[in-house]
């Protein structure tokens, strides 16, 4: 009898939680729709809406510009691919250099610290100019494609940020993990590769994903060097048709490209927070 009573109470609690969840979801949907409707009405009823619509939201101009902007976006994706690889390698090396112990590694630590300080302090666009126009001016190599120079500049900038994130993750790994690995006979390198780095990456995955999304946006800055990417293609179309709609098309394409990773970042962050709250291992 007592078991039946407890089960009934539990069923009532579950039904209440389900109803409350549905009610909250309904309120969220309704409030969001009301807010969006208010924003749309405000825009549509603005005195200059007709001019803005013709200049920024012309369907015919958008359809005509879409193929060329898509071709430019493919260049952005290629730059992003190689930049992510470069950032992963360089940032890991810098993070390891900053965590090395012992006086013999002082030059490496100072070099890594100086690198992160400099490239975190200089704006990305300025680094693009310095690399994109300064390196060819040295005359050390032949003609280097501007997208390659842009990729190098992005790698240098974002590696400084990611290295600090990784270093924070490595410092968050409890020292007993290192001691246990060394007591099992693992070398310093194997301890880093097999014990410290996997835990560090897992701890800072949300921050790394945020940096990845930021990099995804900043690949559009290579247009400043003359690379015909999505933004430059949109700029060319704007100059030819005297309409700003191609810029909106390029912006929407970047949003579509970044949106899955933004949602993934939020999911990973929520999952990590939930596991911390229940005492799990993050």
Distance of CA 130 to the CA centre of its chain: 23
**Model confidence over 97-144: pLDDT tens digits?**
988 888 888 899 999 999 999 999 999 999 999 999 988 888 777 788
The 3-state DSSP class for residue 43 equals: helix
How far is it, in rounded angstroms, from Cα 88 to Cα 69? Answer: 28
Whichever domain contains 81, its CATH number is 1.10.3720.10
Classify residue 49: in a domain, yes or no: no
| Residue 17 shares a structural domain with residue 117 | no
Classify residue 50: in a domain, yes or no: no
| Residue 212 shares a structural domain with residue 136 | yes
| Residue 123 shares a structural domain with residue 189 | yes
- Res 8 pLDDT > 80: no
Which helix (H) or strand (E) covers residue 217, if one does? helix 205-218
Regarding pTM above 0.85, the answer is no
Q: Which domain holds residue 132?
A: 58-277
Please tell me the total count of domains within the chain: 2
Classify residue 85: in a domain, yes or no: yes
Judged by average pLDDT, the poorest of 5-19, 26-40, 258-272 is: 5-19
Classify residue 282: in a domain, yes or no: no
How far is it, in rounded angstroms, from Cα 256 to Cα 186? Answer: 45
**Model confidence over 172-184: pLDDT tens digits?**
888 888 888 888 8
């Amino acid at each position: 009898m007592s078991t039946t009573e407890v089960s009934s109470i539990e069923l009532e609690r579950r039904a209440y939680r389900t109803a409350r969840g549905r009610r909250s979801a309904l309120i969220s949907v309704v409030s969001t729709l009301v807010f969006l409707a208010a924003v749309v009405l405000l825009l549509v009823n603005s005195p200059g809406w007709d001019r803005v619509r013709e200049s920024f939201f012309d369907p015919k101009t958008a359809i005509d510009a879409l193929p060329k902007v898509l071709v430019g976006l493919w260049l952005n994706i290629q730059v992003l691919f190689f930049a992510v690889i470069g950032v992963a390698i360089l940032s890991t090396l810098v993070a390891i250099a900053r965590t090395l112990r012992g006086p013999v590694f002082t030059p490496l630590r100072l070099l890594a610290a100086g690198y992160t300080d400099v490239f975190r302090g200089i704006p990305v666009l300025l680094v693009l100019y310095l690399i994109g126009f300064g390196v060819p001016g040295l005359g050390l190599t032949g003609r280097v494609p501007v997208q390659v120079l842009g990729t190098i500049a992005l790698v240098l900038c974002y590696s400084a940020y990611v290295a600090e994130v990784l270093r924070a993750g490595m410092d968050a790994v409890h020292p007993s993990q290192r001691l246990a690995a060394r007591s099992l006979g693992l070398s310093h390198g194997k301890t880093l590769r097999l014990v410290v780095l996997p835990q560090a990456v897992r701890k800072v995955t949300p921050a790394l994903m945020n940096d990845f999304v930021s990099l995804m946006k900043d690949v559009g800055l290579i247009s400043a060097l003359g690379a015909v990417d999505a933004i430059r293609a949109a700029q060319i179309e704007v100059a030819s048709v005297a309409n700003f709609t191609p810029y909106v098309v390029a912006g929407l394409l970047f949003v579509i490209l970044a949106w899955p990773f933004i949602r993934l970042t939020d999911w990973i962050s929520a999952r990590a927070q939930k596991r911390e709250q229940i005492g799990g291992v993050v």
